């Protein structure tokens, strides 16, 4: 129920500038490029409209023989909602793969396929599977009947094929593997996910996730790994052209200007249209692989009026997307707010030639009038132009906010952080909720089982709480902004400075038992934060309150660090896993008597 505000925290950006990550050099002679479809994809097969009233619709396929197949019985739509109908042609996709595979072979560059099957759960595994079948065409023609009997589904990657043939007689397995291997003789080299294990780009559709794989390749000077563990130029195949072109634009830029320099480059925060399952990322339940030739309709459930219809063929992928008016309105408001608070220009990445985005442009222009934009730099540009404009600023150390739809929100919040910081894990991920609240993601990815295991076996917790520190700072900042609470604003600012010191002094947790762990990191944050609060002159009460704590923590630093280290190296009992015993946990997490006494004195 909220849009997305993602940015690199000041402390993290400053640390990256002082401690730049490695960036491979780019050569102007690099043959790396992106290949996408020029017809027959979703971009070229899209229709879009804005509703003039709330209505319920059904999705149906009227086959050539006149049969009606209801694909989805009911989708409830609101007044002023934007809806799209789009399809990707199977015939065009297969022809595209044939052409690009042959082009890679002739030109001697590696072939790689980049999809987002983890998010586009229905369409992208199909897109992936077609490529695998074309690449290993002769083997599939020869053994197709057997593969069908075994239930092989290469939409799940070659790993599915290998698993399904594992129970066949050895001689039959060997024959299939020989035939698969023979296909490589007249095919281009395949990019590898893990050269040492022989895992190719086709192993599994979620092994090469576009928003992670493309930035890694660009950071590597436009190269990916081959079967011998060498880096080589590559043809990056992204069938859907809608967003593929932004990567080509960045590649062109790097070929001309060289690699980005993390020490000097600007930052590109993102304001993303995400609320209420906006656009493609909300389309899983409205995406279908067409079973027969016919017409795909979006029709009014009550009146039968056909709102949009498209001629489709068997094997085509057809989908409906939607984005609610309230979500767009809130997105525009968030973009203006971020421009005002940051002083950065905002660029809406919208392509007037794409039907869906033409509808959005109309709404963005309309809703910008609801805000005071005096003194703000707000522009609307096509994705390619927006990328070029942003990169021209980035290399001059200038900052630019990208306001994008849902897919580009996902792609750009990996692409730019990986260039700027070397990782997207240290980004602030804020969801300002449409009802007025805020949600602050800490970057935690599950329960980190190996971390818990190390704690239980060796009493060392390697978990890095940087994400929590950053999220706490922006939640305090938001509280200060919304309620006019100056103490909250001051707490946020001093916490930011303390986090910067934590990074500069490298007081994050080490993976090695016996060295500083999460508990030590928490201590240093307390020491730095209390020192910042004691030193500031804006609020005398806060300075007075935190001065004694700052003094005692600084004096006791060596004692506290020694006490935290002394308990490590021995197993501990936390009294459970998903539900640990809180008293036991409190004792394990607070083993320093000196630190406990200092905190108790400060809170009395």
- Helix or strand holding residue 402 (H, E): strand 401-404
Which pLDDT tens digit goes with each residue over 468-504? 999 999 999 999 989 999 999 999 999 999 999 999 9
Q: Do the beta carbons of residue 525 and residue 498 sit within 8 Å? A: yes
Give pLDDT, residue 444. Answer: 52
What is the rounded CA–CA span in Å between residue 588 and residue 287?
Answer: 50
Number of H helices, E strands in the chain: 20, 21
Band of pLDDT at residue 447, cut at 50, 70 and 90 = low
Q: Where are the beta strands (DSSP E) in 280-345?
A: 287-289, 294-300, 306-312, 317-323
Give pLDDT, residue 304. Answer: 94
Give pLDDT, residue 188. Answer: 96
Q: Do the beta carbons of residue 158 and residue 151 sit within 8 Å? A: no
Residues belonging to the chain:
604
Q: pTM, whole model, 2 decimals? A: 0.89
**Among 48-57, 199-208, 256-265, 573-582, whose mean pLDDT is lowest?**
199-208
Which pLDDT tens digit goes with each residue over 383-416? 999 999 999 999 999 999 999 999 999 899 999 9
Q: Is 325 buried (19+), middle (13-18) or exposed (0-12) by CB count in 10 A?
A: middle
In 153-167, which positions are buried (b, 16+ CB within 10 angstroms) versus exposed (e)? ebbbbbebbeebbee
Give pLDDT, residue 448. Answer: 72
Q: Give the mean pLDDT of 588-595.
A: 98
What is the rounded CA–CA span in Å between residue 111 and residue 277?
Answer: 33
Give pLDDT, residue 449. Answer: 82
Our CA angle for 152, 209, 318, nearest 5°, is 65
Our CA angle for 286, 292, 297, nearest 5°, is 45
Q: Do the beta carbons of residue 56 and residue 75 sit within 8 Å? A: yes
Q: Which two tokens stand for residue 277?
A: 């399952």
Which pLDDT tens digit goes with each residue over 291-339? 999 999 999 999 999 999 999 999 999 999 999 999 999 999 999 999 9
Q: Do the beta carbons of residue 122 and residue 96 sit within 8 Å? A: no
Give pLDDT, residue 186. Answer: 94
| Residue that wins the pLDDT comparison between 62 and 167 | 62
Going by C-alpha positions, the residue among 360, 260, 184, 286 that lies closest to residue 16 is 260
Q: Is the pLDDT of residue 282 over 90?
A: no
Q: Do the beta carbons of residue 352 and residue 386 sit within 8 Å? A: no
Band of pLDDT at residue 18, cut at 50, 70 and 90 = very high
Give pLDDT, residue 547. Answer: 97
DSSP annotation string for 428-440: EEEEEBTTS-EEE
Which pLDDT tens digit goes with each residue over 193-245? 888 888 898 988 887 788 888 999 999 999 999 999 999 999 999 999 999 99
Q: What percent of the chain has pLDDT over 90?
A: 85
Q: Is 445 buried (19+), middle (13-18) or exposed (0-12) by CB count in 10 A?
A: exposed
Q: Is the pLDDT of residue 446 over 60?
A: no
Q: Give the mean pLDDT of 18-38.
A: 96
Going by C-alpha positions, the residue among 160, 198, 165, 193 that lies closest to residue 179 is 165
Q: Is the pLDDT of residue 442 over 90?
A: no
Our CA angle for 135, 137, 138, nearest 5°, is 130
Indicate the angle between helix axes 210-219 and 241-257, nearest 10 degrees.
Answer: 10
What is the rounded CA–CA span in Å between residue 294 and residue 272?
Answer: 36
Which residues, 6 or more positions from 449, have their beta carbon under 8 angstroms from its beta carbon?
A: none
Q: Do the beta carbons of residue 390 and residue 402 sit within 8 Å? A: yes
Band of pLDDT at residue 580, cut at 50, 70 and 90 = very high
Q: Do the beta carbons of residue 107 and residue 233 sit within 8 Å? A: no
How are strands ordered across the β-sheet holding 306-312? 68-77, 55-63, 294-300, 306-312
What is the rounded CA–CA span in Å between residue 22 and residue 142?
Answer: 47
In 516-540, which positions are buried (b, 16+ CB within 10 angstroms) versus exposed (e)? bbbbbbbbbbbbbbbbbbbebeebe
């Amino acid at each position: 129920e909220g849009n997305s505000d993602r940015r690199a925290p000041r402390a993290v950006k400053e640390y990256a500038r002082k401690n730049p990550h490695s960036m491979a050099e780019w050569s102007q002679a690099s043959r790396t490029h992106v290949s996408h479809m020029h017809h027959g994809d979703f971009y070229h097969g899209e229709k879009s409209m804005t509703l003039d009233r709330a209505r319920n619709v059904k999705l149906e396929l009227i086959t050539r023989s006149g049969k009606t197949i209801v694909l989805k019985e009911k989708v409830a739509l609101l007044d002023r909602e934007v809806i799209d109908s789009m399809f990707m042609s199977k015939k065009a996709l297969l022809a595209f793969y044939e052409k690009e595979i042959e082009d890679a072979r002739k030109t001697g560059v590696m072939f790689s396929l980049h999809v987002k099957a983890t998010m586009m759960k229905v369409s992208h595994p199909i897109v992936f599977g077609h490529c695998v079948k074309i690449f290993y065409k002769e083997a599939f023609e020869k053994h197709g009947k057997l593969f069908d009997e075994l239930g092989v589904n290469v939409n799940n990657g070659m790993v599915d094929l290998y698993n399904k043939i594992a129970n066949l007689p050895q001689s039959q397995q060997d024959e299939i593997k020989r035939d698969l291997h023979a296909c490589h003789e007249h095919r281009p080299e395949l990019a590898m996910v893990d050269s040492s294990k022989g895992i190719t780009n086709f192993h599994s559709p979620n092994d090469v996730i576009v928003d992670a794989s493309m930035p890694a390749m660009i950071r590597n000077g436009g190269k990916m790994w081959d079967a011998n563990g060498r880096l080589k130029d590559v043809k990056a195949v992204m069938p859907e052209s809608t967003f593929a072109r932004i990567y080509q634009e960045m590649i062109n830029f790097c070929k001309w200007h060289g690699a980005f320099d993390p020490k000097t480059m600007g930052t590109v925060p993102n304001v993303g249209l995400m609320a209420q399952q906006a656009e493609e990322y909300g389309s899983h339940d409205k995406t279908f692989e067409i079973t027969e030739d016919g017409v795909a309709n979006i029709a009014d459930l009550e009146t039968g009026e056909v709102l949009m219809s498209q001629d489709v063929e068997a094997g085509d992928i057809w989908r409906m997307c939607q984005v609610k008016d309230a979500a767009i309105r809130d997105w525009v408001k968030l973009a203006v707010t971020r421009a005002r608070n940051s002083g950065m220009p905002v660029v809406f990445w919208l392509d007037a030639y794409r039907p869906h985005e033409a509808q959005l442009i109309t709404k963005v222009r309309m809703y910008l009038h609801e805000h005071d934009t005096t003194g703000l730099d707000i522009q609307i540009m096509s994705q390619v132009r927006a990328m070029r404009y942003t990169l021209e600023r980035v290399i001059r150390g200038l900052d630019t906010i990208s306001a994008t739809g849902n897919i580009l929100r996902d792609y750009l919040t990996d692409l730019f952080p990986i260039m700027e910081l070397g990782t997207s894990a240290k980004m602030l991920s804020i969801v300002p909720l449409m009802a007025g609240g805020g949600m602050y993601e800490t970057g935690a990815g599950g329960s980190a089982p190996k971390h818990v295991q190390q704690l239980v076996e060796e009493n060392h917790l390697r978990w890095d709480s940087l994400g929590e520190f950053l999220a706490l700072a922006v939640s305090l900042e938001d509280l200060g902004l919304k309620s006019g609470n100056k103490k909250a604003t001051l707490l946020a600012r001093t916490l930011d400075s303390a986090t910067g010191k934590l990074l500069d002094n490298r007081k994050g947790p080490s993976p090695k038992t016996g060295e500083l762990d999460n508990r030590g990191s928490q201590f240093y944050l307390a020491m730095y934060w209390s020192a910042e609060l004691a030193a500031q002159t804006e609020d005398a009460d806060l300075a007075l309150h935190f001065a004694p704590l700052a003094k005692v923590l600084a004096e006791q630093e060596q004692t506290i660090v020694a006490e935290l280290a002394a308990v490590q190296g021995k197993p501990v009992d936390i009294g459970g896993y998903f539900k640990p015993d809180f008293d036991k946990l409190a004792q394990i997490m607070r083993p320093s008597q000196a630190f406990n006494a200092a905190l108790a004195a400060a809170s009395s």
